[in-house]
A and B are shown apart, each in its own frame.
Chain A
Amino acid sequence: MTVTTGKDTQTTDTLDFVAPKADELAALLVGHSRPPRPSALSASMTFGWRAMLKIKHVPEQLFDVTAFPIMMVLMYTYLFGGALAGSVSSYIQFLLPGILVMSVVMITMYTGISVNTDIEKGVFDRFRTLPIWRPAPMVGYLLGDVVRYLIASAVMLTVGMLIGYRPDGGIVGVLLGVALLVVFSFAFSWIWTMFGLLLRSEKSVMGVSMMVIFPLTFLSNVFVDPKTMPGWLQAFVNNSPVTHLATAVRDLMAGNWPAADIAWTLGWSAVLVVVFGAVTMRLYNRK
């Protein structure tokens, strides 16, 4: 900090700072023609780069896409494996794609929390006064999150393979499954950007997220075949976007082509982007 005495004015953190001379600043200020505005894609990618920089400076935030998914795979495989499928190795074939879907969809909720904590900071005022494509900061968050979803998927697939998961679809099937999961998660995250802008505190975002995410992910076919469920629950489960996604990912990784479930998943993704993307941008512009 600045400690200045009469004699020794150089012992400050600003010791080497001499306010810019008028001519020096003039050189900085003039003769710099303004470049054309960046495209929507370029601005979004730049915000995605910002998300990467944040991961670089605070790598602890990757805990939720590394340790948490490993825990989910091990916990549910060994907890339910014997009872539900007779053995761990047969259950993992069924469970892994589902638990992958569940974990990544759960991880999406951190988007809302980062939007909520970031939006209160002064830097957002600056972003909002820039002449750029308006959704770019929000899209940038989601692009950064796509990287997190990919990390989580890689971690879970590795752990799954180690304890006996063998996808019949091979590398292509697995990659297609992950791609579909990432597309859906990107679309689903717009719900969280909306809540991130709508709610006042990080805690309330967390609370609301739990209320949405737990029923949505558990009331699906991730853990068990819905056939034993009561009729009214089957009606919900069979039409849940998470069920369509889990079925599609499971079949893709098993080497099948579940056209209907892929179509349902992409349809849901489009609806989520259109509805919650629009609400998010309305809130963002009004904030």
Chain B
Amino acid sequence: MTDLAIETEGLVKVFGSNRAVDGIDLRVPAGTVYGVLGPNGAGKTTAVKMLATLLRPDGGRARVFGKDVVEDADTVRGRVSLTGQYASVDEDLTGTENLVLLGRLLGHTRPAARERSAQLLAAFGLAEAADKQVKHYSGGMRRRIDIAASILNTPDLLFLDEPTTGLDPRSRNQVWDIVRAVVAQGTTVLLTTQYLDEADQLASRIAVIDHGKVIAEGTKGELKASVGSGSVHVRLRDPEQRPEAERIIVGALNATVQLDADPVALTATVDGHGTDLGAAEQAARALAELTRAGITVDNFALGQPSLDEVFLALTDRKGTTA
């Protein structure tokens, strides 16, 4: 990689006896969306706060566009902006007042700040709410004004800390569209999320974080491949047949089978090892054997492993993710 937006070496942050961030190494190429994926409490927000100069690292180094976040904090602040997990705008002020306030703090004259504020509010569908206090905004509207505030001066690096947590699907899609548009203009985005589909949708590279450590890093394809070449999703008609189906699939695919929370569903990973058959042929053979054993199969699908499966495999947590 020629240009790195973020580079960290052994980044550490300790709160009391809790090593919230425990030696993180990241290399984020400029101009991309980089996903940081992890469960609640994994250390994502703490890491972002150190990179955004809000927290001082207890160990290691972090550079943003080659500048150290401690020694050159002021230079870094000039190039980044942060949309925090909770709305980083003043709830007592109106939408316009918030954006004009920030515009003034970024050095715009009062008329320029007003003009910019009006443009952004219009583009983000907030023109009608411009004179309402932000505390009366819906969750989706808050997110939008928050992101609008972050791009008031187009940042070179935008931190989005769980930007869609708590949003309904429609608002979430709107936020995704905005992120894509921002990246298309050359801004690097560091996105933290606990939603795998969000990382899947937006990020080109992903780091999976758990207990303050990076447990996997790579492109989406690499992460999925690390778990297996494909996975088979099976839905039975009769839940009582599931143990037998499990036995048959294990035999046919020579693979581990995960029993889903849904009592009629099974998921098997096809790793393609130990056989010269392709994943699809193996899957077809398994389906044939299920039918021969008199098991009614309602749905049978072969696909790439989802990031959910990758995530569960990596974090080794028991979950009921679909």
Chain A interface (Cβ within 8 Å of chain B)?
A: 1-2, 4, 9, 12-14, 16-22, 24-26, 28-30, 32, 34-38, 42-43, 46, 49-50, 53-54, 57-58, 121-123, 125-132, 136, 286
Contacts and interface: CB of A to CB of B under 8 A. Distances in A.
A18 B173 CA distance: 11
B140 A122 contact: no
A129 B184 contact: no
B124 A20 contact: yes
A195 to B, nearest CB: 22
Given A20-B124, A35-B112, A128 B54 contact: yes
Contacts of A43: 105
Contact of A35 (B93, B108, B178, B187): B108
B170 A2 contact: yes
B52 interface: yes
A49 B170 CA distance: 36
Nearest to B180: A22
Interface in B97-126: 97, 101-102, 104-109, 112, 116, 119-120, 123-126
B119 A28 contact: yes
Contacts of B90: 50, 121, 123
Contacts of B120: 28
Contacts of B133: 57
Interface range for B:
35 or more
Contact of B88 (A12, A17, A123): A123
Contacts of A2: 138, 140, 168, 170-171
Nearest to B120: A28
A14 B74 CA distance: 37
A121 B151 contact: no
29 contacts: A13-B141, A14-B141, A14-B171, A17-B124, A19-B177, A19-B178, A22-B181, A25-B123, A25-B181, A26-B184, A29-B151, A29-B154, A32-B116, A37-B78, A38-B106, A46-B101, A53-B92, A53-B101, A122-B89, A123-B91, A125-B49, A125-B52, A125-B54, A126-B84, A126-B88, A129-B54, A130-B106, A131-B74, A136-B105
A34 B53 contact: no
A57 B105 contact: no
A34 B107 contact: yes
Interface string B169-186: 011011001101110110
Given A14-B171, A30-B154, A130-B105, A20 B181 contact: yes
B56 interface: yes
Contacts of B182: 25, 29
B245 interface: no
A35 B108 CA distance: 6
Contacts of A125: 49, 52, 54, 82, 84, 88
Contacts of B181: 19-22, 25-26
B178 A129 contact: no
Interface centre among B53, B56, B92, B144 (most CB of A within 10 A): B92
A37 B80 CA distance: 14
Contact of B106 (A25, A34, A49, A128): A34
Contacts of A17: 124-126, 144, 174
A113 B82 CA distance: 26
Contacts of B53: 128-129
B153 interface: yes
Interface in B20-71: 49, 52-54, 56
Nearest to A1: B138
Contacts of A4: 168, 170
Contacts of A122: 84-89
B231 interface: no
Given A50-B93, A50-B101, A129-B81, 19 more contacts: A2-B168, A12-B170, A14-B141, A19-B177, A19-B181, A25-B182, A25-B184, A29-B185, A35-B107, A37-B106, A50-B90, A53-B97, A122-B84, A123-B88, A126-B82, A126-B89, A126-B149, A129-B54, A131-B75
A85 to B, nearest CB: 45
Contacts of A130: 77, 102, 105-106
B316 interface: no
3 closest Cβ contacts across the A-B interface? A17-B125, A19-B177, A35-B107
A13 B125 CA distance: 10
Interface string B134-146: 0000101100100
B128 interface: yes
